[in-house]
Each structure stands twice: as structure tokens, then as C-alpha cells.
Amino acid sequence: MLAVINLKERFFEQWYGFRNTTFFVMISMLYLILMLLKRMFIIADVAAFEILQERGDMWLFDLFFGFQYLSIPIWLAWKFSLTAFVLWVGCFMFGYKITYHQLWRWVMFSELIFLLPELIKLLWFLMIPQDPSYQDIVAFYPLSILSLFNYQEVHESMHYPLKALNVFELIYWLMLMTGVFFLSGKKWNISVYIVLSSYVLFLFFWLIFYLLVYK
């Protein structure tokens, strides 16, 4: 128990002492850079985009991607706020006294894991010789259930749910469990139950809702 306490103290002193605003801006910039690189070196080489550029209609897609870039901080703030709230409700139901601010901060820290698949995706299309279509790029998500199949043989309504279920998402769950465990200083198994009964349950409800609405 003493070893766990010492590990917790060292972690918060060495790795968790960041400013929320600075860290949020850093994550937003990293997502923006990855999106720009993907736009410049992968999507720009897709044949359909080259045709549009020749016709002078590329400004429509430039406008679309411009909105995407501007929406990054809004999307991240919404994601962090909703996830932290769901976890906070789960903690409250189990009698764990963790503040919403602490959970929001940990959720933001855990978001780092989702930068890895974006980087892998960029390197995959840059390094492996191929001539992908835009749909090939959109459908690809490394280490996801969808990546185990030919996406063209899977109904389009299943693409998002099967991409959402991936190895990085599982690691994210573990990071959330670790956060609840560290922040509460209580039992690990209860931290697991909290995340499974709050965030994971909410995620599956959302995926089911998506499928129902899509159809």
C-alpha cells in the first residue's frame, strides 16, 4: 500500500503538474498538425481531389477542412466535459469523492492515447505504396475491429461503431480506471466498476443509438 502511495505522489509531482490551458492548447495543436499533414500529404494525392483541383472546385473542400480545423478545440472541450461528467456521476454513485475538475483534467491527460492512431494512420498511407481512395482513408482505423475486415463488404452503418471499438479505446478505459484509482486512493476493483458502469456503458449506449438513428 505504501508503494502505491509513493508511486501516486511521484506521478503527480513529475507528470501531472501541468497547466490545464497549456495542455489543452498543446493537444489541440497536435491534432491540428496531424490533420494538416494528412490533408497535405495523403488526401491531396487522391485522384478525386486532383480532378476537383483541376476544375477549380477545390475551394469547397478547403472550406470543409477549414471548419474541421476550427472545430478541434470545440470538439475536444465537449468530449472532455461529457466524459468527465459521466465519470463524475459514476464516482458519485459509488460514493467516491472526486471533483469534476480532477476528472476533467485526467480525461484530458488520457486523450494523448488517441493521438497514436492518428499518427499511425498518417505513417501507414505515407510509407506503404498504394493509391487509396478517400473512402479508404476515412474507413481505416488501426487496430480496430473494422480493420480486420474489408470495409467495402461491411454495411456503412457499421463503419463508425467498428472503428470506435479498437485497442486504443481499451487502453483509454484502463487509463480512466487508473485515474479514478489514483484520484480516489480507494480500491482498484471499484475503480474498474465505476468506469465500466459509467463511461463504457455510456459508450455502448451511444453506439447503439447511432446504429438505430443511422438506419
pLDDT at 129: 72
- Distance, CA of 200 to CA of 2 (rounded, Å): 30
Selected residue with higher pLDDT from 161 and 128 = 161
Per-residue pLDDT at 59 exceeds 50: no
pLDDT at 37: 87
DSSP conformation class of 99: -
Which three cell numbers mark 38? 494528412
CA Rg value for the chain: 20
Mean pLDDT of the chain: 84
> Model's pTM, two decimal places?
0.86
Per-residue pLDDT at 82 exceeds 90: yes
Q: How confident is the model at residue 19 (pLDDT cuts 50, 70, 90)?
A: confident
Highest mean pLDDT among 28-32, 38-42, 186-190: 28-32
Q: How confident is the model at residue 64 (pLDDT cuts 50, 70, 90)?
A: low
pLDDT at 20: 79
pLDDT one-digit tens code per residue, 26-39: 999 999 999 888 87
- Distance, CA of 173 to CA of 169 (rounded, Å): 6
